[in-house]
Structure 1
Amino acid sequence: MKAVQPIRDIEVVEAIQEYLYNTNLRNCVLFSMGVFSGLRVSDLLNLQVASVRNKTHITLIEEKTKKTKKTNKEKTFIIHPDIKPLIDLYIQDMDDDEYLFASRQRKTKTGVKGKPIHRTTAYKMLNSTAQVFRLKEIGCHTMRKTWGYHLYIQDPENLALLMEMFNHSKQSITLRYLGLTQDAMDRAILRLSYSKKRIK
């Protein structure tokens, strides 16, 4: 099985945001929060509206994965100002106790506030979007990897922070997780610029 890859082209990330904004606002917010926060899909899906309304940060207990024996611990993540207006627009008619990414189907059929969408629903959304943009090797970890990839590309000194975020013990593990192959490293060097216009 091939490893899931980050979206390396910033213009493609922006194009996906625009595409999802015009087709499904919920999916746009999910994708945008994923690539701007580095949160796992499972953590994003468990968020309630109160977690983001009038907030500058999200505080949560990260879900422990099967691959680690470390105990769950509380972490705080800033809500990036670039997506705050989008989130505010999305939640303006929602109650604080609703799940941020609730299943509309259940609410429509029963009138009961929906449970969060399933991880497989998020996966299907990402893959159908990937097909539109002819992207391969895309999955639920793509958003998290995209976030980490561009943090590293824009400033390699972020590597220590990324190791902490991903609970990795070695730099090599983080670099491999982010898909930073030799070609990607070469591109990072070629993109080096000291012009503020290129550093966004």
Structure 2
Amino acid sequence: KKKDVKNGEFKLKEQKTGKLKQTVIPTNCMKAIRLYIAKLEDEDFLFSSQKGINKPIGRIQAWRIIKDIETRFKLPSLGTHTLRKTFGYHFYKQFNDVVTLQKIFNHKEPKETLIYIGIQQDEINLLMKKFNS
């Protein structure tokens, strides 16, 4: 809901672990969010369902929206994990901080995080291109 994000952060309960997680919204994202929520009431959902009065969209509808974007822009297979991995990849490239990213993703080991975001494969590819036999 608008009230949940208007202060630049939000809390959510992770489905897999049941843990409550607080997340700060990056400043550049918050600028766009403020424009988007300007005309919403505090109790309005950010993504309202068209099925009922003041209900949020469900997981299936979110998936349909992502698939529509994939089709419209002729992108390779997209999903919610694509967005999560892309965030992780760019966060790592900007800050080179695998430990913080590991905490964000709730992974047990930094190695798991690097594999998840594809960094190890990128490094292997780069080294293979430079390798001379």
Q: Tell me which amino acid in the other structure corresponds to 1:57.
A: E
Q: How big is each residue's C-alpha offset from its partner over 1:110-169, in whole Å with a ceiling of 9 and x where there is no partner?
A: xx22x111112111221221233332231111211111110112232x100111111111
Task: Calculate percent identity across the aligned residue pairs.
Answer: 32
**SS of aligned partner of 1:82:** helix
Structure 2: where are the runs of 5+ without partners? Answer: 128-133
CA distance in structure 2 between the aligned counterparts of 1:51 and 1:188, rounded to whole angstroms: 42
CA contact (8 A) 2:85 2:117 kept: yes
**SS of aligned partner of 1:131:** helix
**SS of aligned partner of 2:23:** strand
CA distance in structure 1 between the aligned counterparts of 2:46 and 2:109, rounded to whole angstroms: 34
CA contact (8 A) 1:153 1:188 kept: no
Q: Does 1:52 align with 2:21?
A: no
**SS of aligned partner of 2:51:** helix
- Greater Cα radius of gyration, structure 1 or 2: 2
Q: 1:98 to 1:173 in 2, by over 3 A?
A: same
Instruction: Choose from 38, 41, 63 the match for 2:14.
Output: 63
**Structure 1 position 188, deviation (Å):** 8.1
Aligned to 2:47: 101
How many residue pairs get matched? Answer: 127
Aligned to 2:89: 149
Q: Tell me which amino acid in the other structure corresponds to 1:159.
A: V
Aligned to 1:164: 103
**CA RMSD of superposed structures (Å):** 2.3
CA distance in structure 2 between the aligned counterparts of 1:126 and 1:181, rounded to whole angstroms: 27
Q: 1:180 to 1:57 in 2, by over 3 A?
A: same
Q: TM-score, normalised by structure 2?
A: 0.80
CA distance in structure 1 between the aligned counterparts of 2:13 and 2:33, rounded to whole angstroms: 21
CA distance in structure 1 between the aligned counterparts of 2:94 and 2:118, rounded to whole angstroms: 15
Taking the TM superposition and a 5 Å limit, the aligned residue runs for 1:21-170 are 48-53=1-6, 55-58=7-10, 60-65=11-16, 70=17, 72-103=18-49, 105-107=50-52, 112-113=53-54, 115-156=55-96, 158-170=97-109
Q: Does 1:185 align with 2:130?
A: no
